[in-house]
Amino acid sequence: TGASERGRGHGLGLTVAQGQAGVLGARPTFANAPDGGAIATLDLAPERPEGPEGPRRPEGPKRPEGPRRPAAAD
């Protein structure tokens, strides 16, 4: 967003993102980038097969191995 667009939100974006990630069994994390801007990471749990009791919820987030890459933002 440009400078003229900043401050016009209602502050709900991160709350909505966290709620939607929870529905998916994922975990979002947010941080400030060293040179300005933001870093958003979404840790997704592996897909589990459905059993007779229906879909199972993930036991907890697992961090992927290897280097982490920040999401691109325009």
The tens digit of pLDDT for each residue in 14-65 reads: 888 888 888 888 888 889 999 988 888 989 877 665 556 665 666 666 666 7
The pTM (predicted TM-score) of the whole model is: 0.44
Instruction: Provide the CA 56 distance to its chain's centre, in angstroms.
Output: 20
Nearest-angstrom CA–CA distance, 5 and 24: 30
Strands (E) in the chain, as ranges, are 27-32, 38-43
Residue 60 has a pLDDT of 64
Residue 48 has a pLDDT of 60
Tokens of 20: 């939607």
| Torsion over CA: 15, 60, 58, 73 (sign) | positive
What residue segments make up the domains of the chain, in order of their start? 13-43
Residue 9 has a pLDDT of 67
In the block, residue with structure tokens 């003229």: 4
